[in-house]
Structure 1
Amino acid sequence: MRILCDINHPADIHLFKNALWRLRDNGHKYFITARDKEVTLQLLDEYNFSYVAFGKHYSNITGKIYGMFKFNTLMYKEVQRFKPDILISSGSIYAAQVSALIHKPHISMEDTENSYEQIIIYRPFTDVILTSTSFERELGKKQIRYNGYHELAYLHPRYFTPDQSILKILRVHPQDHYVVLRFVSRGSTHDIARKGISRENKIKTVEKFSRYAKVFISSEDPLLYELKQYQLTIEPHRMHDVLYYATMLYGESATMASECAILGTPAIFVDDDGRGYTNDEERYGLVYNFTESIDDQERSIKKGVELLQQPRVKAKFRERHRNLLKDKIDVTKFMVWFIEKYPESAAIMKKSAFYYKQFA
């Protein structure tokens, strides 16, 4: 089988990497296409993936419309060259539309309920949309659910082993506490009208948390002058080591909040729309969800201080994360089976909705 994987976002590399390696080991061939967004190309290089990059990602509406035509054209050329049997992505408009042009199936991994425009555009051209059982939207007959999250595909203990050498890079003693703050840009279609955590509360958060722990900030946008001294400077592929050993994560990234849930690190997620998976993780006591209202921002900071004051907070969260892992499946294992056996796999899942349980 020849598999084309289109990468929308750096997190997609982590989502698909283990599945692609396993598919390769099983005798299949894959090829990757991508846009130059944030650290996407750095990660692809780090993992020694062969790929074609179609240029810079566009963040405004006009650019996105232009990009649809540009990237579809470039994608079509690569598809003609590689001749895939199947295309996979995490909600890629380009992979979906080009798959329809060449009459090949497209499988989308979707986890973002508020990607309204993106889903509307790619759904007509997509054969199957795989979502978590925690996904809080119904997407019709093409939707198939499984009991897991994207982040389990790469942070499940079968695939991730933390490397304590990161503490030396951070200049942090193993017994010290540190907090990671994560601020995102608003370039995604589902984020454009959003403001996020206020400037004042970003500064306030650092001031409050610094009383209890060392603070590091990871930000997609340039940091405020007052906060530059806290900027986290590491190689992108070491971020999960940073999160594993952190005392807490606070910020605007749903993906990082979920990553922390899988790793057993307390996480506070601030976002108006939220995500089905972080809501599910809150039921396990691993993620605390807040809106972007000023009152909720204040409450989120208070919750952060409360967690930092708790003795042995990480031990409590590691126990909770073990409970989560007992309930969820091995998402990589499920993806490999679904792709290799498609379209029979889709028919099996439609007939037996809980078939995914055998991939625990």
Structure 2
Amino acid sequence: MRILIDINHPAHVHYFRNFARLMGEQGHSILFVSRNKEMEHALLNLYGITFVNRGKGRNGKVGKFLYMIYADMKLIQVCQQFKPDLFLNFLHPYPSQVARLLGKPSLVFSDTEHAGLHHKLTVPFATKVYTPSCYRLDLGEKHVRFNGYMELAYLHPNYFTPDPSIYEILGIKPHEKYVIVRFVSWAAAHDFGHTGMSLENKRKAIKAISKYGRVFITSEAKLPDDLEPYRIRIPINKMHDAIFYSTLLFGESATMASEAAVLGTPSVFIDNDGRGYTDEEERKYGIVFNFTESEQDQQRAIEKAEAILACKDMKYKFKQIREKLLAECIDTTELMMSEVLKYAK
């Protein structure tokens, strides 16, 4: 098969890189096309994945609409040479629109319920849409649910082994307590109207958490001068090692909250919309703690972080929860392979 995988966010590289490697080993041809946002291209280069660049994209509703036209035209141009049999991507419209135009199957994965605009521009053109079973929406006859999470496409033990050298890279002693804090830019299409934590509460959170251990901030946006010294400075392929050995993940990223969950690290997640999967990871496993962006909830989130950090022996407890989660969930990459191969000629 000839499979075109379109990347629209750094996390998508992780979602599909093991699939691409395993399918390539079986003799299938894979082509990645990638937007240049944050670190997609750096990640693709890091994993030795050849790709076609489709530009940086644009912000704002008008800018995103104009970019959609450009991206569709770029993909049509790429397809004239590559001639894909199937398109694969995480929820965004360009590959599914082009696949429908070319009469090819388009398989889409998603776990983001509030990405309403992407739903409207993608689902009508997709052949199948795959989501975790806890997905809040019903997408109709195209909808296929699976018992697992997107993060298990790359953080399942079949693919990920934590590297303790991260302690040395971070400049701390083995088993020393540290917390990773994640702030996002709120520039994505599904983030319109969000503000996240106030700067005052970000500072308050860092001060409170620092009483229990080192703090490392990863941020999409520029940090104020007083928080910049906390910025984490590690190779981009070491972030999951850092999450695995951390005591807590605190912040505004649903993906990183779920990454922490499947790695056995508790997380405090702040977002007005939440996600079906972070809700389940709290309800079913008690390893994610969800809060809204309201002032009251921001304060409660900080208090929850302190309560977790004050507990003794909680690291062992959450690693046991991870074992339970892994036993009850599937390997998402294996699912991708089995579903794609149904379309092999």
> 2-side partners of 1:43 and 1:343: how far apart?
28
Secondary structure at the aligned position of 2:190 is classed as coil
User: What amino acid is aligned across from residue 298 of structure 2 in structure 1?
Assistant: Q
> 1-side partners of 2:102 and 2:263: how far apart?
40
> 1-side partners of 2:25 and 2:78: how far apart?
23
Contact 1:244 1:260 in 2 (8 A): yes
| Correspondence for 1:320 | 321
- Shift of the 86–213 alpha-carbon distance from structure 1 to 2, 3 Å rule, reads same
Is 1:134 the counterpart of 2:143? The answer is no
Contact 1:185 1:221 in 2 (8 A): yes
Shift of 1:343: 7.9
| Correspondence for 1:353 | none
Secondary structure at the aligned position of 1:13 is classed as helix
User: What amino acid is aligned across from residue 267 of structure 2 in structure 1?
Assistant: A
Contact 1:268 1:304 in 2 (8 A): yes
- Residue by residue over 1:307-349, the C-alpha shift from the partner in whole angstroms, topping out at 9 and shown as x without a partner, is 11111111110011111111101111111011012389xxxxx
Identity %: 43
| Correspondence for 2:173 | 173
- How is 1:22-101 mapped onto 2 (pairs within 5 angstroms)? 22-101=22-101
User: What amino acid is aligned across from residue 132 of structure 1 in structure 2?
Assistant: P
> 2-side partners of 1:133 and 1:321: how far apart?
18
Structure 1 unmatched runs, 5+: 345-360
Shift of 1:59: 2.2
Could you tell me the TM-score, scaled by structure 2's length?
A: 0.98
> 1-side partners of 2:18 and 2:25: how far apart?
11
Is 1:290 the counterpart of 2:291? The answer is yes
Secondary structure at the aligned position of 2:197 is classed as coil
User: What amino acid is aligned across from residue 314 of structure 1 in structure 2?
Assistant: K
Greater displacement, 56-65 / 20-29: 56-65
> 1-side partners of 2:300 and 2:98: how far apart?
46
Structure 1 segments of 4+ aligned residues over 4 angstroms from their partners: none
> 2-side partners of 1:136 and 1:235: how far apart?
35
| Correspondence for 1:269 | 269
- How is 1:145-160 mapped onto 2 (pairs within 5 angstroms)? 145-160=145-160
| Correspondence for 1:243 | 243
Structure 2 unmatched runs, 5+: none
User: What amino acid is aligned across from residue 208 of structure 2 in structure 1?
Assistant: K
> 1-side partners of 2:142 and 2:289: how far apart?
31
> 1-side partners of 2:37 and 2:132: how far apart?
25
> 1-side partners of 2:121 and 2:156: how far apart?
32
Could you tell me the TM-score, scaled by structure 1's length?
A: 0.94
- Residue by residue over 1:111-138, the C-alpha shift from the partner in whole angstroms, topping out at 9 and shown as x without a partner, is 1000001111111111100011010111
> 2-side partners of 1:14 and 1:189: how far apart?
21
> 2-side partners of 1:44 and 1:256: how far apart?
19
Greater displacement, 334-343 / 27-36: 334-343
| Correspondence for 2:309 | 308
- Residue by residue over 1:249-295, the C-alpha shift from the partner in whole angstroms, topping out at 9 and shown as x without a partner, is 00000000000000000101000000000011112011000011110
- Residue by residue over 1:74-127, the C-alpha shift from the partner in whole angstroms, topping out at 9 and shown as x without a partner, is 111001110000000001211011101111010000110000011111111111
Contact 1:7 1:92 in 2 (8 A): no
> 2-side partners of 1:205 and 1:190: how far apart?
25
Is 1:210 the counterpart of 2:210? The answer is yes
Secondary structure at the aligned position of 1:56 is classed as coil
> 2-side partners of 1:302 and 1:252: how far apart?
16
Shift of 1:25: 1.0
Secondary structure at the aligned position of 2:121 is classed as helix
| Correspondence for 1:279 | 279
Shift of 1:57: 2.4
Secondary structure at the aligned position of 2:226 is classed as helix
- Shift of the 289–343 alpha-carbon distance from structure 1 to 2, 3 Å rule, reads farther
> 2-side partners of 1:340 and 1:92: how far apart?
22
Shift of 1:175: 2.5
Secondary structure at the aligned position of 2:274 is classed as coil
Secondary structure at the aligned position of 2:234 is classed as coil
Is 1:116 the counterpart of 2:123? The answer is no
Contact 1:88 1:106 in 2 (8 A): yes
> 2-side partners of 1:159 and 1:255: how far apart?
18
User: What amino acid is aligned across from residue 300 of structure 1 in structure 2?
Assistant: A
Shift of 1:193: 1.0
Aligned length: 344
| Correspondence for 2:332 | 331
> 1-side partners of 2:102 and 2:313: how far apart?
56
Secondary structure at the aligned position of 1:175 is classed as coil
Shift of 1:174: 1.0
User: What amino acid is aligned across from residue 25 of structure 2 in structure 1?
Assistant: D
- Residue by residue over 1:123-172, the C-alpha shift from the partner in whole angstroms, topping out at 9 and shown as x without a partner, is 11111000110101111111001101100110011110011111111001
User: What amino acid is aligned across from residue 110 of structure 2 in structure 1?
Assistant: E
Secondary structure at the aligned position of 2:176 is classed as coil
User: What amino acid is aligned across from residue 58 of structure 2 in structure 1?
Assistant: Y
> 2-side partners of 1:175 and 1:314: how far apart?
10
Secondary structure at the aligned position of 1:151 is classed as helix
> 2-side partners of 1:161 and 1:326: how far apart?
17
> 1-side partners of 2:118 and 2:202: how far apart?
30
User: What amino acid is aligned across from residue 142 of structure 2 in structure 1?
Assistant: K
Secondary structure at the aligned position of 1:108 is classed as strand
